[in-house]
Amino acid sequence: MAKVKPVEHLERVVIRFAGDSGDGMQLTGDRFTSETAAFGNDLATLPDFPAEIRAPAGSLPGVSGFQVHFADHDILTPGDQPSVLVAMNPAALKVNVGDLAKGGTIIVNTDAFNDRNLQKAGYASNPIADGLLSDFHVHEVALSSMTVEALKDVDGITSREAERSKNFFALGLMSWLYNRPAEGTLAFIESKFAGRPEIAEANTKAFKAGWNYGETSEDFAVSYEIAPARLEPGTYRQISGNTALTYGLVAASKLSGLPLFLGAYPITPASDVLEQLAQLKQFGVRTFQAEDEIAAAGAALGASFGGALGVTTSAGPGVVLKSETVGLAVALELPLVIVDVQRAGPSTGMPTKPEQGDLLMVMFGRNSFSPVPVVAAATPAGCFHAAIEAARIAIKYRTPVYLLSDAYLANGSEPWLIPDLSTLPDISTEFATGPNGDDGSFLPYKRDPETLARPWAIPGTPGLEHRIGGLEKENETGNISYDPENHDLMVQLRAAKIAGIAADIPLLELDDPDGADTLVLGWGSTYGAIGAAARRVRAGGRKVATAHLRHLNPFPSNTGDVVRAYDKILVPEINLGQLRMLIRAEYLVDAVGYNKVRGRPFLAAELADAITTLVDR
């Protein structure tokens, strides 16, 4: 579509789309993101849904948002403050306007600012009219009525249905404003609504009407261009954490040659891993929606016993229920991957909101000493490799492994350079096929001297019939034993096996371009915010080092050296200091925390402030 108005260049933009749950904001945001990705910007997104399925229309709890940050350079977070807010109704304005940068742009759907909606949003008067928005640049657009008007010739839809296309009008307008390629969206509409051509037509028309409105309306004097970012060459796609995690699990199954078995019970924000894997049966993936989380973990463990890659996925309130079964897996020494997509707690908490609250639970939340490796993803796309890594450790060491993600990674997305399959690790293993005892017997707890892993002898293997269980086992034979010294030995062996994994994982990478005396150490989804904050701090002329842990148990073998090399250590966490505690206990360094538990990611700005304060101390 051609352009006549002048075009200005920008380096980066943060847009937030906000509207009622029923307004299709997630779809709008997704499409805008796809266009942006196709255009070649770097980007990061942050959806923010309401907890209710469909809270009452127009109400504050019903507001659904989607933020996308895109730039001509590589970026790390979805942005602290939107520069542009699209508000489909008063509630959306009310909930989001506080986050907007001063001087930012607001596009409001004036049609929705009627008395009823204003009242539901708790506005005594119309904020558009009464000067409340004077700090911002406001575009008043009659989105609904213009959409209905634009679609009056579409056959087979009611005017209510027509009005529903207003999100495509908004998308068209924004696509014009930021010079996004429209083809992808038009093709998407065709295929998505193939079954209902009248809807496809309506959405297409609405989109074009929005685009043309930008082009014609005097309210929009210029449009903006954000040049493509210089990204590594290769084929990209956009990917969310949950999808990356799903793909990682499937890849682990392929790479190991073990059929994937998922035991899961639905829970926000982990359910869609179950839902996505359920669609991949052609990969030999079995998904079992269990009666509860205990059964989900148990079934996965049973599948592992039989030689499958047993995986179970949940969020904190479900993962906590799996603890007893994970303890059994520790005793049985069988592979099991337990995925925890963390959310805000305690208890039911805020189901759709992220938090890093479960680290200590997965480390210690089982009766008695039962060490379990912990892997944590740092970015949405990083969930792919984290899943493969968790499976690798589980398979190689015959151990349960926790894989931590969170609600922010799960739903956030970013461009992903699709890996060449040949670069992925071989994580295959060998089942036991014959006796390993000197006397020709089979010793199920005789360990590999290097990994300390025991043989995995799966049912169906003639001659290796054996019994395993949760009672303490005699070393090597695996027979029940109450011998005191044997128990101590087994406790030590189980500890040594997990500790030994430190030799088999990458070293902690340190980013310290300037030789700083302050280290920021992070884990999990704070990766982006820490990186962005460090850039700001460095841009401000200060020195700071960063390092990010992807293995939380065991720590990479150089972790002690890294942390001891700094005078000051800051550990930002969306909890009250869980990694910080582990680091302090392990290395006796006076790590301090930056801890805000608000059910949302850190802002780069606040972290930059916290780092600056510490650097200057």
Partner 1 sequence: MSKGNGDLVQLTGKDFKSDQEVRWCPGCGDYAILNVVQGFMPELGLSRERLVFVSGIGCAARLPYYMQTYGMHSIHGRAPAIATGLAVTRPDLSVWVVTGDGDALSIGGNHLIHALRRNVNLKILLFNNRIYGLTKGQYSPTSELGKVTKSTPMGSLDYPFNPLSIAIGAEASFVARAIDTDKKGLTEVLGAAARHRGAAFVEILQNCNIYNDGAFDYVRDDKENRIYLESGERIRFGAEGEKGVVQYADGSLKIVDVEEAGENSLLVHDASHMQASLAFALSRITFETDGAVPLGVFRSLEREVYDDLMNDQLDAAREQSGEGDLATLLHTGDTWTVA
Helix (H, G, I), strand (E, B) or coil at 40: coil
Contact 133, 126 (CB under 8 A): no
**Separation between Cα atoms, residue 589 and residue 591, nearest integer Å:** 6
Q: Which is closer to a second copy, CB of 26 or CB of 276?
A: 26
Token output for 201: 């037509």
In the bound state with partner 1, the residue whose beta carbon lies nearer, of 457 and 544, is 457
Q: Looking at this protein, which amino acid is placed at residue 340?
A: D
Q: Residue 383: exposed, middle, or buried by beta-carbon count in 10 A (0-12, 13-18, 19+)?
A: buried
CB 176 within 8 A of CB 223: yes
For the window 504-543, what string marks contact with ligand TPP as x by the rule CB under 6 A? ----------------------------------------
510 counts as binding a second copy under rule CB under 8 A: no
Residues in 133-192 that interact with a second copy by CB under 8 A: none
Residue with tokens 């904050």: 533
Contacts for 476 with CB less than 8 Å, ≥ 6 apart: 437, 443, 445, 446
In the complex, minimum distance from the CB of residue 87 to ligand SF4, in angstroms, rounded to a whole number: 25
The number of beta carbons lying within 10 Å of the beta carbon of residue 576 is: 12
Asked if 483 touches partner 1 (CB under 8 A), the answer is: no
Kindly state whether residue 582 participates in binding a second copy, applying the rule CB under 8 A: yes
**Interacting partner of 472 out of a second copy, ligand TPP, partner 1, none (Cβ under 5 to 8 A depending on kind):** a second copy
> Applying CB under 6 A, which residues contact ligand SF4?
53-54
Question: What does 367 bind: a second copy, ligand TPP, partner 1, none (CB cut-off 5 to 8 Å by kind)?
Answer: a second copy
Distances (CA, A) of 328 to 301, 332, 364, 476: 9, 6, 14, 18
Residue 372 lies near ligand TPP (rule: CB under 6 A): no
| The two three-digit tokens of residue 581, written as one number | 């505690």
Name which position in 169, 176, 265, 445 contacts ligand TPP (CB under 6 A): 265
Provide the minimum distance between the beta carbon of 54 and ligand SF4 in the complex, in angstroms, as a whole number.
6
346 binds partner 1 (CB under 8 A): no
User: Hey, how many other C-beta atoms are within 10 angstroms of the C-beta on 172?
Assistant: 29
- If one asks whether residue 439 binds partner 1 (CB under 8 A), the answer comes out as no
469 binds a second copy, rule: CB under 8 A:
yes
Report the SS3 class of residue 146. Answer: helix
Closest among 372, 363, 376 to 403, alpha carbons compared = 376
- Give whichever of 396 and 584 is closer to a second copy, judged by the CB atom: 584
Instruction: Tell me the sheet residues that pair with 549.
Output: 523
Cβ 453 to a second copy shortest distance, Å: 17
Tokens of 577: 């200091």
Choose the stretch contacting a second copy; rule: CB under 8 A; options: 184-192, 269-277, 469-477, 531-539.
Answer: 469-477
Cα 522 to Cα 11, 79, 294, 354, 529: the distances in Å are: 28, 19, 31, 16, 10
- Please give the Cα distance from 137 to 441 (Å, whole number): 80
CB of 101 to a second copy, least distance (A): 18
Residue 64 belongs to what H/E stretch?
strand 63-71
SS3 73: coil
Q: Which of 158, 368, 422, 423 is close enough to bind a second copy by CB under 8 A?
A: 368
From 362, 464, 505, 545, residue interacting with partner 1 (rule: CB under 8 A): 464
Residue 64 pairs with which residues in a beta bridge? Answer: 19
Tokens found for residue 441: 């017997």
Note whether 147 binds partner 1 by CB under 8 A. Answer: no
SS3 (DSSP) at 94:
helix
Question: How far apart, in whole angstroms, are the C-alpha atoms of residue 118 and residue 90?
Answer: 6
Compute, in degrees rounded to 10, the torsion defined by CA atoms 576, 578, 584, 586: 170
Residue closest to ligand TPP when measured from CB atoms: 267
Given ligand SF4, partner 1, a second copy, none, residue 344, with its beta carbon under 5 to 8 Å by kind, binds: a second copy
Q: Is 280 in the site for partner 1 (CB under 8 A)?
A: yes
Determine which residue in the list 47, 58, 307, 317 makes contact with a second copy, applying CB under 8 A. 317
Among 289, 451, 557, 595, binds partner 1 (CB under 8 A): 289
**Binding characters for ligand TPP, 314-333, by CB under 6 A (x = yes):** ---xx--x------------
Three-point CA angle 343, 346, 351, nearest 5°? 35
Q: Does 403 bind ligand TPP (CB under 6 A)?
A: no
> How many residues of this chain bind ligand TPP (CB under 6 A)?
8
Q: Which is nearer to ligand SF4, 56 or 197 (CB)?
A: 56
| Count of residues of this chain found to bind a second copy when the rule CB under 8 A is applied | 67
**Could you tell me the smallest distance in angstroms from the CB atom of residue 516 to a second copy?**
22
576 touches a second copy by CB under 8 A: yes
- The entry of ligand TPP, partner 1, a second copy, none that residue 302 binds, CB within 5 to 8 Å by partner kind: partner 1
Q: Which is nearer to ligand TPP, 316 or 556 (CB)?
A: 316
Contact 496, 45 (CB under 8 A): no
Structure tokens at 64: 């659904």
Q: Residue 27: which of 54, 12, 49 has the closest Cα?
A: 49
Instruction: Tell which positions 11-70 bind partner 1, by CB under 8 A.
Output: 34, 37-38, 40, 52-57, 59, 61
Using CB under 8 A, list all residues that contact a second copy: 50-51, 61, 315-317, 319-321, 323-324, 327-328, 330-332, 342-350, 353, 355, 357-358, 360-361, 363-370, 469-472, 482, 484-485, 487-488, 491-492, 494-495, 575-576, 581-582, 584-586, 588-590, 596-600
